[in-house]
Amino acid sequence: MKVIKKAMKMREVGVLVPLLLLWIITYFINHAFFTSTNMIALFRSVSITALGAIGAAFVFCGGMMDVSAGSVYGLAGMLAAIAMKDWGMPVAAAILAGLLVGVAFGLVNSLIINGFEVPAFIATLGTQYIARGIVNVISEGRSYTGFPDGFNAIGGMGFFGIPWSIYISLMVAVIAAYVLKYTVFGRSLMAVGGNPETARTCGINVKLIRNAAYIINAVLCALAGILSTARLETAQAAAGSGWEMTVIAAAIIGGVSMYGGSATILGAVIGVGIMETLTVSMTMIKVNAYWQRVVIGIVIILAVGMDTFKRKRMSGGK
Amino acid sequence: MTDMSGRAVLEMKHITKSFSGVTALNDVSFSAYEGEILALCGENGAGKSTLMKILSGSYPEGSYEGQIFVNGNLCRFASPAQSEKMGIGMIYQEISMHLDLTVAENIFIGRWPIKGRKVDWKEMNEQAVTFMELVGLQAEPDMILRQMSASQQQLVSIARALSKDPKILVLDEPTSPLTQKESRMLFEILHSLKERGIACILITHKMEEVFENADRVTVLRDGNIISSCRLSETCEKKVITDMVGREISNYYPKEKAEIGDVVMEVKDFSVPHPSIPNRKIIDQVSFQLHRGEILGIAGLVGAGRSELVNAIFGKDPRLSGEIWIDGRKASIKSPADAMKNGIALLTEDRKKDGIVAEMSIRENLTMPLLEKVSRNGIMDRKREKDISRRYFEELGVKAPGTETLMRQLSGGNQQKVVLGKWIARDPKILILDEPTRGIDVGAKYEIYKIMVKLAREGKGIIMISSELPELMSMADRIMVISDQRIRGILKEGEWTQEKIMELSAMWETPVTNAGGHES
């Protein structure tokens, strides 16, 4: 009983309920929903997007914002592909090159935002264009396929018929949740997001913490881009367009506050579940793809609206 | 209650209000008469703000029980706009102004004079001058608020309230951003408003203000009216006793500590002006702080007291100057450097840079000691719990536990937590910038006691305060700063309120002829 009571109090429960409802509704409309193939496909999408949402959780938690995620995702996947196909690099080196894209853009974002004090939204909007531009320049707009088997295997099935991406994502989520809750870095990040001036006065290096959050975020986005390339066995110049909005929405739906100082990794992952299920179920019940975007848009606004409302209510009543 | 010659312009009857089961106001009835200054006193959480929020319409009709009569008419306020329409003006403790608009725009916001379909700027600026003169604000109506001092901004907010022609004016701690001189000016304004028949309700913690200005005083405690009487029928001690519900035998628990050697020496410190380029706010200031000493810093708002200590702590930049600690020169470029050198700073504005409101007491208490409550970057949960519990108890924070969020605490308890987090670092030098601002009498007393205890432990304490009685009672020496420089360091026995005020008001350099950067 106590366990159940405690569980009910966790804020993630508030997000889990709509996810389960969504699943049940979809099941009633289309019984094919709960088949193992469909569930594995769903969880595989969730696992890749979750990496981005975890990154977004770190950035939001520090009271910041990043809209370059989709382009970094695209560039990392593309660079890994070109490294293998055009430069003949081994798989491991190509993956490393892709991850370095994340490190590089994390650093560039930090430098622009914390060094030159350009507002985060504008700075990352700029790097979103830059990264997408580079994708098109280096690929000349072409798609790449025919990667070594070793690379494609990463996007395939692992132990017990479960895709590797799910194992990877699960591992990242556990580590991220631990870092956020039990490390000095996580506590500092929360403090920085909650009140940067107080954090600085307490001797916390605010810029360093924020830079680290940006780098973690960009590396996770790069990892997602590489996993997605491996899973599709294709690198496309347009890969990840608009993905930043999906991860931001997922994180916010999952209870990560846009205003900083509050984040839960589990919540962010469940948020991704809701976003991905929405897409899958709308497809299954044959909602026109254009209308799907309208629905997603509404969901994003509702999620942010709820976050703002919660904030207001908390600061309003004494 | 009391016999008043005037007419009751405001009557609040049987007001009861609770927040999720907790009673904030319990059957409160009170009135304000035409042409009087009524002081409303009470500790934080006594219900003053709640009562005034009901009056202002912030808590709409229906969210409480009871009735409000203005000039004998029953009023139902669904919004602040309706309350304003009935002639109720509010001036809040925290200045809520539009910093990037002009003085005139701030005064007439939402009620701009219109010519045709456009704002009539000329008319607006002219009208603004009338109200600026009324409050004694010396500035141009087209000046941007951001360039003005906090006290000037406060005067603008009063001008705005007056421009709406209120019959009842509520002032919530209006003098906290003001210096003593400016406060006196504010009360002159209040007295002239009173002459014009306006009822002024003054919410304040400062007893001098009550006894110098009010006609009547009403004390609230725990949501109940404890007493309500004319000033001639009461005394300071009684009001304080009513507020806290217990006798405070010794208002200032000052005990002499043994003064030791110099723990910190500040040499030739110059600090740039925060908002005016190429100007200094502190110029070539040097002083010493001893072990066991409480060094008070007096001065008017804007004299640069906070800027000086923030620069010493490495929080704000400085132009030049050295800090010597225990005879060794310290390199301080950030708060982290200052903390390593054994300095702690309790900042002036809790909300701005003292607390993280959405985090727990525990997380706030251990924020400057993360390296102490962790091992290899991993939090040591048990150690953190032990340490936070210890300081929570030592400081007597009134809250259900260490997991309570900071935003749920009253100002006084928040301040105890902020003080606690610095004490937990066991600093050699503790700088307290307005440590008792906006907190209730009981919490003040406890903070004084902690200061005395720390001084006896041999710590050097710097205390900035705008309340002279507090400084004179607690400090061993008082350093007066005005116009960029130290105007005098007074020892006990040498100081009087008049002497300190005189030094605070020493302005010699003309504003236009101030020194430039020299980095």
Query: Residue B512 has what pLDDT?
Result: 35
Contacts of A202 in chain B (CB under 8 A): 335, 367-368, 421
Alpha helices in B164-304 (DSSP H): 180-195, 207-213, 236-244
- b (16+ CB within 10 A) / e for B472-487: bbbbbbbbbbbbbbbb
A198: contact with B, CB 8 A cutoff: yes
Query: Residue B176 has what pLDDT?
Result: 64
The domain defined by B262-354+426-513 carries CATH number 3.30.1780.10: no
Is A82 inside any structural domain? Answer: yes
Q: How many domains does chain A have?
A: 1
B52-85 pLDDT, tens digit each: 889 988 888 888 999 999 988 898 888 888 888 8
CB B463 within 8 A of CB B451: yes
Confidence of residue A1 (pLDDT cuts 50, 70, 90): low
B48: contact with A, CB 8 A cutoff: no
**B93 CB neighbour count, 10 Å cutoff:** 18
Is B381 in Cβ contact with A203 (below 8 Å)?
no
Is B371 in Cβ contact with A202 (below 8 Å)?
no
Pick the residue from chain A with its C-alpha nearest to B425: A202
Q: What are phi and psi of B76, to 5 degrees?
A: -125, 105
Contacts of A315 in chain B (CB under 8 A): 357, 407
Is A200 in Cβ contact with B352 (below 8 Å)?
no
CB B157 within 8 A of CB B76: no
Kindly give the pairing relationship between strand B477-482 and strand B429-433: unpaired
Q: Which two tokens stand for residue B120?
A: 């009539």
From A183, A199, A201, residue closest to B345, measured CB to CB: A201
Is A22 inside any structural domain? Answer: no
Test the B interface: residue of A61, A179, A198, A307 with most B CBs within 10 Å:
A198
A308: contact with B, CB 8 A cutoff: no
From B49, B335, B359, residue closest to A194, measured CB to CB: B359
Is A200 in Cβ contact with B368 (below 8 Å)?
no
Compute and round to an integer the Cα radius of gyration of chain A.
20
B379: contact with A, CB 8 A cutoff: yes
Q: Which two tokens stand for residue A102?
A: 């994340």
Q: Model-level pTM?
A: 0.73
- Residue A124, class by beta-carbon neighbours within 10 Å (0-12 exposed, 13-18 middle, 19+ buried)? buried
The whole-angstrom distance between B407's CA and the closest CA on chain A is 8
A195: contact with B, CB 8 A cutoff: yes
d(CA A53, CA A176): 11
Is A195 in Cβ contact with B353 (below 8 Å)?
yes
From A184, A198, A204, residue closest to B354, measured CB to CB: A198
d(CA B47, CA A154): 63
What DSSP character marks residue B484?
B
CB A74 within 8 A of CB A240: yes
The ipTM is: 0.83
Give the count of Cβ contacts less than 8 A between chain A and B. Answer: 78
Is A204 in Cβ contact with B407 (below 8 Å)?
no
| Amino acid present at B422 | W
Kindly give the pairing relationship between strand B168-172 and strand B199-203: parallel
d(CA B245, CA B206): 17
List, in sequence order, every residue forming a beta bridge with B88; answer none if it has no partner: B168
Is A190 in Cβ contact with B352 (below 8 Å)?
no
Residue A259 has pLDDT above 80, yes or no: no
Distances from the Cα of A46 to the Cα of A76, B2, B212, angstroms: 19, 71, 69
Of B168, B220, B189, B135, the C-alpha closest to B36 is B168
Angle between helices A289-316 and A265-284 (to 10 degrees): 150
Residue that the structure tokens 């340490």 belong to: B387
Is A213 inside any structural domain? Answer: yes
Is B347 in Cβ contact with A203 (below 8 Å)?
no
Query: Residue B297 has what pLDDT?
Result: 93
Is A209 inside any structural domain? Answer: yes
B507: contact with A, CB 8 A cutoff: no
For chain B, residues with pLDDT lower than 70 are: 1-6, 20-22, 43-45, 93-95, 176-180, 205, 244-250, 275-277, 301-302, 502, 505-519
Contacts of A205 in chain B (CB under 8 A): 334, 336
Mean pLDDT for the stretch of residues A284-313: 79
Degrees, nearest 5: CA angle A33-A34-A38: 65
Residues with Cβ within 8 Å of B238's Cβ and at least 6 positions away in sequence, in order, are: B227
The whole-angstrom distance between B40's CA and the closest CA on chain A is 20
Distances from the Cα of B192 to the Cα of A188, B166, B179, B189, angstroms: 52, 14, 20, 5
User: What CATH code is assigned to B8-244?
Assistant: 3.40.50.300
From B49, B367, B379, residue closest to A191, measured CB to CB: B367
Query: Residue B255 has what pLDDT?
Result: 78
Domain ranges, ordered by start, for chain B: 8-244, 262-354+426-513
Query: Residue A318 has what pLDDT?
Result: 35
Mean pLDDT value across chain A: 86
d(CA A224, CA A230): 10
B369-427 pLDDT, tens digit each: 998 888 888 888 999 999 999 999 888 888 888 888 888 888 888 889 999 999 999 99
Of A185, A241, A240, A238, the C-alpha closest to A215 is A185
Residue A67 has pLDDT above 60, yes or no: yes
Is A17 inside any structural domain? Answer: no
- b (16+ CB within 10 A) / e for A84-112: bbeeebebeebbebbbebbebbbebbbeb
Q: Kindly report the three-state secondary structure assignment for every residue of A188-223.
A: HHHHHHHCHHHHHHCCCCHHHHHHHHHHHHHHHHHH
Query: Residue B518 has what pLDDT?
Result: 37
B267-276 pLDDT, tens digit each: 999 998 876 6
Is A196 inside any structural domain? Answer: yes
Equal fold, B8-244 vs B262-354+426-513: yes
d(CA B125, CA B397): 49
What DSSP character marks residue A113?
I
Domain containing A87 — which CATH number? 1.10.3470
B98: contact with A, CB 8 A cutoff: no
Contacts of B359 in chain A (CB under 8 A): 190-191, 194, 261
Q: Where are the beta strands (DSSP E) in chain A?
A: 144-145, 234-235
Is A31 inside any structural domain? Answer: no
Is B367 in Cβ contact with A202 (below 8 Å)?
yes
Kindly give the pairing relationship between strand B8-19 and strand B22-33: antiparallel
From B334, B353, B421, residue closest to A197, measured CB to CB: B353
Which residues constitute the domain of residue A67?
A: 40-305
